[in-house]
Structures are given as structure tokens and as C-alpha cells.
Structure 1
Amino acid sequence: MVDLDDWPGSGLSDEELDVAYNVRRKAGPELFERHMARYRAESESAVDGLPGHPGIVYDEASGERLDVWGVGDDGPRPVFVFLHGGYWMALSRAESSFMARALYEQGIATVVPDYTLAPKATLEEIVRQVRASIAWVHRHGREHGLDPERIVVGGSSAGGHLTGMTMVGGWQEEFGLPADVVKAAMPFSGLFDIRPITRVYVNEYVKLDVERAAALSPALLPHGRRCPAVVAVAEHDGTGFVEQSRAFAPLWGAGEAMVVPDRDHFDVVLDLGDPESAPFRTLLGLVRSL
């Protein structure tokens, strides 16, 4: 039984929780906008001229779409499914394909799904949509140049939380998927126990109570099969994200969290577009181990 009153930061004041989890304020408006501009510019550059299949509807119920990038003529490629961040209420697939070219050059395809943002969608619905995108890759990936037996999932911030919600057990059967559909995972700066969100500004949009937050927390859910995973976080991340990553990595059997030096909450994941970076090499190792 989960103790609903015992969660990370439960003894902190609202102001202290804001310091721990309000990474946009920590960055400041100028640096935040510079990061967002990099997301857009590097994504546009990465997919310019890249073979792929953009704009595919993966979920008939919501009409949400995904982009497939970096397919080749060498048969179905292993696929990295990237789930964007934005605290479940911002960003889209258009800013989230910055790793596609670097992965393409290593024989790996990239899939970037959209999901309906809060408050238009509940977090339960967002999780369902993300899981539906994994189901689409497994069922239809081969006809689009993807190997459904080599799916690696990753994401940043809220996307790290959503990555965790694809790693846990108990949901795959509902979608007609094998328990090991996700073969490996690499969440960045994720939230794995989201009960603290009930007391920060984000809850104006996601509208969670503690009980619902607990039911949507990967750290508190049955793990099922533990896929290989690397839990990454930035050295200069929000303290809440650092603490959650450090706690989730050993819980998942992934050893210690990978702390990326000289990076903050927003630019750490951009290292996936740099073939020389440690995060990119780590992801490459995960994919090639399959």
C-alpha cells in the first residue's frame, strides 16, 4: 500500500517545492527562450532532407500524429521513440527530432509522437496516447522501415515521466502487446513520483490530486519485466529532478543515475544530437545491445 502522505518533498513548503521543480524559473526567460529556439532550429536541421514518414495518425480516438525519421534501404531499423517534455502542457513533435540525423547515420530510426496537451487532456489520457504510439510502432512499424522488435523509448522532463509509464508493467496486455515491447529506455530529467506536482504551478493545468498522482507514478507501479535502462539527469537540473532520478535508477535496477556535467534541465537532452557526447554514445550502446 502506498503511503499517500509520504512523498518526495512532502515536508517542504510550497516555495521550496517551486524551487525544486520550477526549472523554467531557474533558467530565467532569456536562457529558456534560447533553449527553445535551439530545439526548433536543431530539429528542423536534423530532418531537412531526411527520409521518413511525417504526420501519421497513430491513434484514431484522439487523431494524434507522429513522425517517422531516418529510415533506410537496409531493412527495418531499430527505433528510438522520443517523448517530448513541456510539463505535459507545451511543446510538440516539431521541436523534438533534433537527434534524428545523428541516429540515422548510425542506422537507427527516430519516431516522435505528439500527444494532446493539458489541460485539454487529462494526464491519464496523455499516458494512454503515448502507450498507443508504442502500440502503433509495434503493429505498423515494419511497413514504415522500423523494427518492432527493437524499440527503445526515451524522453525529457514530462517525457521522462511518460517514458517511465511505458517501462512499467500491467498496461501492455490492454493494447495486445508483449510484456517486453519496450526493449530499453533512457529517460532524461524525469519525474517518477509525481505527487509533488500536486503542489506546484503545473497543477493548474494537470489538475491532479495525490491519489491520482500516485497511480500515475512509475516509481510506485509494478515494474513487470525490467528492461535495460539508463536514467539521465543534468548536473545543473532542478533539485527535485536530480533527487527523483537518483532514486529511480537503482529502483529500476539501472545502477546510479547518469549525471551529465555542465548541462541544465533543458539542454541536457540536446546532447542526443551530438554523436560525440556521452548521452548519445550511451543511447547508441543501449540500441546496439538489443
Structure 2
Amino acid sequence: MDLDDAYANAAYIPDGESYPDRWAVDADKFRKSQALTGRARLGLMYGHGTREVLDLFMPEGTPKGLVVFVHGGYWLKFDRSYWSHLAAGAQAEGWAVAVPSYDLCPRVRIADITRQIANAITVAAREIEGPVRLSGHSAGGHLVSRMCAPGVLPDDILARLAKVQPISPVSDLRPLMQLTMNAELKVDEAEAQAESPIFQPKPDVAVTVWVGAEERPVFLDQARWLAEAWACGHEVVPGKHHFDVIDALANPSSDMVRDLLN
């Protein structure tokens, strides 16, 4: 098997290269609408680096709790500005939603990004009272899964963690060592073992793994491996691929949002 091809997404999605521009447009419209209503708190620092920043979208009234969405891009691409619109579903249901950026490889290692996301969640959770629910896509699915591991989040924040929703996650990092992109990721045996959620203890928190039925076979495998390792929920969404499976987060009545919030 050509693993570089197996882990390629855009080439196997109709008009796949157009998706980032479309995400950016939708996200910009959402941020502007939220700014007009005074419900967007943009550019909150959670660390000292220029990318250690999050946007927080507030609901009407007192939040029921906090949702954090962590984006993907193979730990190599994107920032929070592409994903703001995905806060719409949970926000409409009364939840505050944080969307962080983080540093990218090769400037940092994946383990460093894990620590950054833990810091982002901690800072946001100290702004918003109540339960904490995490959703993440692709590399972001890996990162929210890592938050379940002992010692990653502070004890007081971990105690508030009510739900984790990895979407199309990378749960076993060992195959990445064979990819061309590993020249930038720099995953070695030790990091693959330490950073792969499938090797973590089964978490004491509700988890549902989501994946699109039309995704590349390796992503179907990665989702299944995590669901099997953790004996948790596993939803395969008919007709959805790696780039559109997350669209449901913008819809408050979608099964994905209901799963996240209940």
C-alpha cells in the first residue's frame, strides 16, 4: 500500500481543493455576525506564542457550559479562522464555544501541540463555568482524544469533562512515520507510542467517535481502532467524506450536535 496516497484526502474528494477557501468564507461571515451582536470574544491569549490564541463565542444568556472545537490539518495547516462557523450549533443550544489556534509542525512537535491544547481548554474553562465538552476533527480528533489521558488536563478541568467527540481522528500515529509528511511531523517510535490515543487507558468520560462513510479506508480504520480500544460509541455517517463530515456541527438539530451536548 502507498501510505502517502492512502492518507491523502483532497485528491479523493470532488472539488476537494476548494474546501479551505469555502471554510474561510463561512467562518468570516459567522465571526462578523457574532461581533455585531457582541457575542464574540476574539483573540484571547492562552499562552505566550502568537498562535496560542482562541476565539470564544457566547450564547444568549448564561452559558450551559463550554464546548471546545479543535481543528485538523495534519498538525501542519490552518488556524482558528477557518472554523468559527462550526460553533453555531452548540452556541444556538446555549453553550459557549472556544475555537483555538495552535503552533504547527515542524516548528513544534505533536506532543507540544497536545500541551498547547490542554492550556487552551484550561484557560477557556476558567472563563466559563459548567461542564466541558470537546470536539475535534482529524488531527484535532487526535488532540481532543489526548485530553482524556491522565495528567494532560489539570485535575479540576478533567473533573468537568463531560464528553469527547473525536471526528475522523488519527488515533494511531505509527503509520505516519512512513509518510513523506513525517519529514515535517518528525514522529518517532517514542512519540508515536506516547501520543497515540489507542495506547491510553480507557477514559472515564463519555466518548463517541465519528467518521464519514465515504472517507479513505485508513480513516475508517483509525476511527474504528479508537472505538475498539476504548469500547466507546462509533458513528459512521452515510454519504459524508473527510471534509464535509464536520458540517453538522453548525446545525443545532444535527445528530452530531445532539451527541456532543447530551
Number of residue pairs the alignment of both structures matches: 258
Structure 2 distance, partners of 1:46, 1:254, is 33
Q: Which residue of the other structure, out of 90, 94, 99, is the alignment partner of 1:107?
A: 94
Q: Sequence identity, in percent?
A: 29
Could you give the per-residue CA deviations for residues 121-145 of structure 1, whole angstroms, max 9, x where no partner exists?
A: 1111111100111111232x1xxxx
Q: Map of 1:33-112 to 2, 5 A cutoff? A: 33-50=17-34, 51-60=39-48, 64-72=52-60, 74-112=61-99
Could you give the per-residue CA deviations for residues 125-184 of structure 1, whole angstroms, max 9, x where no partner exists?
A: 111100111111232x1xxxx22x311111110000101111222323xx4535424221
The DSSP-based 3-state class of the residue aligned with 2:20 is helix
Cα pair distance change 1:53/1:187, threshold 3 Å = same
Q: Runs of 5+ in structure 2 lacking a partner?
A: none
Q: Which residue of the other structure, out of 103, 117, 121, is the alignment partner of 2:108?
A: 121
Q: Which residue of the other structure, out of 9, 23, 30, is the alignment partner of 1:23?
A: 9
Q: Which residue of the other structure, out of 200, 208, 215, is the alignment partner of 1:237?
A: 215
Show the counterpart of 2:227. 249
> Quick one: which amino acid aligns to residue 55 of structure 1?
G
CA shift, 1:89, in A, is 0.6
The DSSP-based 3-state class of the residue aligned with 2:166 is strand
Show the counterpart of 2:245. 268
The DSSP-based 3-state class of the residue aligned with 2:161 is coil
Q: Please, what is the CA RMSD of the aligned residues?
A: 1.9
Could you give the per-residue CA deviations for residues 165-217 of structure 1, whole angstroms, max 9, x where no partner exists?
A: 11222323xx4535424221111100111110111122121111122211111
Show the counterpart of 2:137. 156
Contact 1:19 1:26 in 2 (8 A): no
The DSSP-based 3-state class of the residue aligned with 1:214 is helix
The DSSP-based 3-state class of the residue aligned with 1:25 is helix
Contact 2:115 2:152 in 1 (8 A): no
Structure 2 distance, partners of 1:37, 1:163, is 25
Could you give the per-residue CA deviations for residues 36-67 of structure 1, whole angstroms, max 9, x where no partner exists?
A: 12211221222323212110101136661000
Structure 2 distance, partners of 1:116, 1:88, is 8
TM-score scaled by structure 1? 0.82
Could you give the per-residue CA deviations for residues 6-65 of structure 1, whole angstroms, max 9, x where no partner exists?
A: xxxxxxx4x1x223312233336xx22222122112212223232121101011366610
The DSSP-based 3-state class of the residue aligned with 1:77 is coil
Structure 2 distance, partners of 1:181, 1:134, is 11
Structure 1 distance, partners of 2:250, 2:97, is 12
Cα pair distance change 1:179/1:26, threshold 3 Å = same
TM-score scaled by structure 2? 0.91
Show the counterpart of 1:131. 118
Contact 1:81 1:111 in 2 (8 A): yes
CA shift, 1:240, in A, is 1.1
